């Protein structure tokens, strides 16, 4: 119809529709302070953030509100010497949650009952938040795995985020936080969760963080979330790219039919990238805090895309709802069954995240804005995780413990000791130098001589798997007389069994063999052979109630008991630290009870292969060692370093490169050199007088990514028993030293 003939009612309807969709945006800027490289301004009814990125680039994100829905009006990048390039327009954030009910596991209840601890409502409420064997979305659940089964479908609730952003200043808040800008839109609703939508940009980084920050008042909530952006225009050059698990590049150019549901990508490095024609945008989850503990690391597909129409697509991150039912293979029915049972792909183990009532759960997703193609952007993103490896540090060896690979059985099943199992290249590729295994945990024989023959295969097998830069140590998780679950590690191969017999005897084939049958004899074995032990997964799993129950026992008070293990279990997205309450609570209590005790990073996982996503499921120990012992040498330097606390624990992105102290009058100054990739959040000094723990936190949000810095703490040690240091970044990654005992005045 010619413009002159357009009817007045049609024009009025068009104007009414535009008015209904567009809202005036007013932002509260009282907490915004302009800084070099960070700027927020209102323009054309939009909030525009402009910030300095990497390699001299500038980034821009513009925000608006339509129908109470916050939108990203534009994402753009400016390379030096070039014009601004728009990467995407008119994007809307997506979030959805699936929640179930958190239950206490039978694995926890059994040791608590054995200790005589009554499962009162208070005990259940406390202990259920440390559940590992729980799968809140698995209906009806297997009998005898959790309290109060079966589960019902009514327990599972699904919800997508809706927004009720206001057009006045209360509907948008802008805050300068050090070297970052935060834009918060209140009014997010997501089923049982309610809170805010927030975007954060960081000076010196091409990152854009989008997160739902929400709480629930419901009891016993366990949940998982998916997140992303919707509305990417499909043009001639638009396509999503990723590396598959074999590290081959794959792509989809949106030439197929529209999708009803997100398409999960089993992508290497948990990374998908959209090429838009003007550049690339990558999407990925936080490297470690996104991942709850499992017994395997099978890649379950943590990123997704969706073709919404012929002209629009979406992409983001996801957590699946259950474990993959893949099974190990074997050359006979007998081996197939045994290897399958031990692979631990169990549908009853998929614990999700904790959401205690009233806690602010943070559900982030990261985007990286790149001026180049997908492969260039991938390399820029992977710099934040050192390419998913543990960066070498002179004078340190990277160690991690507690793997149930059942080496002795695998070697004997294959009828050769010269075998490369799937786990060896996985650990080596991560940059691990010392792998401490934990065979004989449900595998192998219990009684000699078959037990000793299993040990012989174990010792000889890991001897052949070791190398000049890769030492495999044959540890064991015996779980016998000393309470709960625990690790044994000796400085050389030791033949021993829990079966009845003389404490020590000589065998013509195996040499000295031991038969410790009491707690006192197990401790004596550690002393005789200079071994060490530590409590595995303290206060959870089969160690529920431990080490608390043995705090007065001789072995806990001895120098043979060096501490407990550290693992990201449970995950509570309201916590700033990995394993904030269970692990650090145990560490601080142990050092208050006795002398020096430490946290040793562990995996506590089973079979693994090179196509797994192992990096996000691990934290490691950087052990102070100038030289890695060969297998046929004495391993005592490794044990001595662990026994003396000469190591720090890290997720990999934060490193503690040095530490020192100087005396200033009656006090001293403690200093720590930290290196990081993701923008740093804070560093802290933690201490105790033997009863109460205190801490000093130094915010570090003013520091750029990919930096290093010496942090100093004036510290008066008067009345203090011990002190330790930790550093945490904005993605939840971190590193911490072991406690150092101080000389308290008498």
* Four-residue CA torsion sign, 425, 429, 430, 431: positive
* CA 302 to each of CA 116, 190, 315, 316, 451: distance values in angstroms, whole numbers, following the listed order: 42, 21, 11, 9, 41
Residues of CATH 3.20.20 domain(s) within the chain?
396-652
pLDDT value for 2: 40
For 701-738, letters b (16+ CB in 10 Å) and e give eebbbeeeeebebebebeebbbbbbbbbbbbbbbbbbb
pLDDT value for 9: 45
Query: Residue 514 is encoded by which pair of tokens?
Result: 């031991």
Q: What fold is seen in the domain 396-652?
A: TIM Barrel (3.20.20)
Q: Kindly report, residue by residue over 253-267, the tens digit of the pLDDT.
A: 999 999 999 999 999
pLDDT value for 663: 78
pLDDT value for 7: 47
Q: Kindly report, residue by residue over 59-105, the tens digit of the pLDDT.
A: 999 999 999 999 999 999 999 999 999 999 999 999 999 999 999 99
Mean local confidence (pLDDT), 301-328: 93
Q: Which residue in this structure is represented by tokens 């997010």?
A: 188
DSSP 684-735: EEEEESSS-EEEEEEE-TTSPSSEEEEEEEEE--TT--EEEEEEEETTS-EE
Q: Kindly report, residue by residue over 417-463, the tens digit of the pLDDT.
A: 999 999 999 999 999 999 999 999 888 899 999 999 999 999 999 99
* pLDDT greater than 90 at residue 299: yes
* pLDDT greater than 60 at residue 4: no
598, exposed or middle or buried, with CB in 10 Å at 0-12, 13-18, 19+? Answer: buried
Beta pairing class for 598-605 and 561-566:
parallel
* pLDDT greater than 80 at residue 329: no
Mean local confidence (pLDDT), 230-247: 96
Q: Specify the higher pLDDT residue, 133 or 743.
A: 133
How many other CB atoms are there within 10 angstroms of residue 254's CB atom? 22
**H or E element at residue 374:** helix 374-382
pLDDT value for 268: 97
Q: Which residue in this structure is represented by tokens 């259920």?
A: 128
pLDDT value for 19: 40
pLDDT interval class at 22 (50, 70, 90): low
What is 653-746's CATH number? 2.60.40.1930
Contacts of 420 (CB under 8 A, 6+ apart): 465
* pLDDT greater than 90 at residue 338: no
**pTM score above 0.75:** yes
**Mean pLDDT taken over the chain:** 94
Q: Kindly report, residue by residue over 47-58, the tens digit of the pLDDT.
A: 999 999 999 999
Q: Kindly report, residue by residue over 186-237, the tens digit of the pLDDT.
A: 999 999 999 999 999 999 999 999 999 999 999 999 999 999 999 999 999 9
* pLDDT greater than 50 at residue 397: yes
* pLDDT greater than 80 at residue 10: no
How many other CB atoms are there within 10 angstroms of residue 521's CB atom? 18
388, exposed or middle or buried, with CB in 10 Å at 0-12, 13-18, 19+? Answer: buried
Q: What is the rounded CA–CA span in Å between residue 730 and residue 286?
A: 9
Length of the chain: 746
What is 23-97+159-384's CATH number? 2.70.98
Least Cα distance to 307 among 298, 317, 315, 295 occurs for: 315
pLDDT interval class at 21 (50, 70, 90): low
């Amino acid at each position: 119809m010619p413009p002159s003939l357009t009817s007045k009612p049609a024009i009025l309807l068009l104007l009414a529709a535009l008015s209904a969709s567009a809202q005036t945006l007013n932002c509260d800027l009282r907490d915004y302070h302009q800084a070099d490289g960070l700027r927020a301004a209102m323009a054309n009814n939009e909030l525009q953030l402009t910030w300095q990125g990497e390699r001299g680039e500038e980034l821009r994100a513009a925000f608006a509100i339509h129908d109470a829905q916050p939108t990203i009006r534009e994402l753009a990048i400016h390379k030096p010497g070039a014009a601004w390039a728009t990467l995407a327009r008119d994007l809307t954030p997506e979030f959805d949650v699936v929640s179930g009910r958190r239950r206490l596991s039978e694995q926890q209840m059994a040791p608590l009952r054995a200790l005589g601890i009554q499962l009162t409502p208070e005990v259940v409420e406390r202990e259920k938040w440390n559940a590992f064997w729980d799968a809140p979305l698995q209906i009806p659940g297997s009998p005898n795995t959790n309290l109060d089964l079966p589960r019902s479908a009514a327990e599972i609730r699904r919800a997508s985020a809706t927004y009720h952003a206001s057009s006045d200043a209360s509907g948008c808040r802008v805050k300068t936080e050090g070297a970052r800008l935060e834009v918060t839109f209140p009014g997010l609703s997501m089923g049982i969760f309610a809170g805010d939508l927030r975007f954060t940009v960081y000076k010196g980084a091409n990152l854009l963080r989008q997160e739902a920050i929400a709480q629930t008042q419901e009891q016993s909530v366990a949940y998982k979330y998916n997140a992303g952006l919707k509305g990417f225009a499909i043009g001639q050059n638009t396509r999503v790219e990723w590396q598959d698990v074999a590290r081959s590049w794959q792509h989809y150019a949106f030439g197929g039919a529209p999708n009803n549901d997100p398409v999960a990508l089993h992508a290497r490095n948990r990374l998908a990238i959209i090429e838009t024609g003007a550049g690339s945008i990558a999407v990925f989850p936080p490297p470690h805090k996104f991942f709850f503990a499992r017994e395997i690391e099978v890649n379950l597909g943590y990123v997704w895309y969706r073709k919404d129409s012929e002209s629009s697509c979406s992409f983001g991150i996801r957590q699946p709802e259950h474990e993959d039912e893949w099974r190990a293979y074997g050359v006979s029915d007998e081996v197939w069954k045994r290897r399958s049972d031990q692979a631990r792909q169990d549908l009853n183990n998929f614990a999700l995240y904790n959401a205690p009532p009233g806690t602010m759960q943070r559900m982030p997703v990261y985007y990286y804005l790149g001026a180049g193609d997908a492969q260039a952007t991938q390399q820029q993103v992977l710099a934040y995780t050192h390419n998913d490896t543990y960066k070498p540090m002179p004078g340190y060896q990277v160690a991690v413990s507690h793997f149930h690979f059942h080496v002795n059985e695998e070697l004997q099943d294959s009828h050769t000791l010269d075998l490369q199992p799937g786990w060896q290249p996985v650990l080596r590729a991560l940059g691990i130098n010392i792998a401490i295994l934990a065979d004989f945990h449900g595998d192998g024989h219990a009684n000699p001589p078959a037990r000793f023959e299993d040990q012989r295969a174990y010792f000889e097998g890991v001897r052949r798997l070791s190398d000049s830069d890769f030492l495999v140590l044959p540890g064991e998780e015996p779980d016998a007389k000393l309470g709960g679950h625990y690790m044994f590690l000796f400085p050389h191969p030791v033949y021993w069994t829990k079966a009845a017999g003389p404490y020590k005897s000589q065998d013509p084939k195996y040499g000295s063999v031991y038969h410790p049958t009491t707690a006192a004899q197990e401790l004596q074995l550690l002393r005789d052979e200079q071994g060490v032990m530590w409590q595995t997964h303290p206060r959870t799993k089969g160690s529920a109630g431990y080490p608390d129950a043995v705090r007065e026992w001789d072995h806990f008070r001895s120098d043979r008991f060096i501490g407990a293990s550290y693992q990201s279990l449970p995950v509570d997205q309201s916590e700033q630290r990995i394993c904030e309450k269970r692990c650090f609570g145990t560490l601080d209590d142990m050092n208050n009870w006795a002398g020096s005790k430490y946290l040793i990073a562990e995996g506590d996982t089973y079979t693994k292969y090179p196509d797994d996503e192992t990096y996000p499921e691990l934290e490691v120990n950087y052990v102070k060692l100038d030289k890695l012992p060969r297998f046929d040498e004495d391993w005592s330097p490794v044990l001595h370093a662990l026994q003396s606390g000469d190591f720090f624990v890290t997720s990999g992105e934060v490193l503690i490169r040095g530490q020192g102290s100087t005396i200033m009058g009656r006090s001293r100054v403690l200093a720590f050199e930290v290196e990081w990739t993701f923008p740093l959040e804070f560093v802290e000094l933690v201490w105790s007088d033997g009863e109460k723990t205190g801490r000093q936190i130094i915010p570090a949000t003013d520091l750029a990514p990919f930096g290093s810095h010496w942090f100093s703490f004036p510290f008066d040690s008067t009345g203090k028993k011990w002190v330790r240091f930790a550093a945490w970044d904005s993605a939840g990654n971190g590193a911490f030293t072991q406690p150092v005992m101080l000389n308290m005045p008498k």
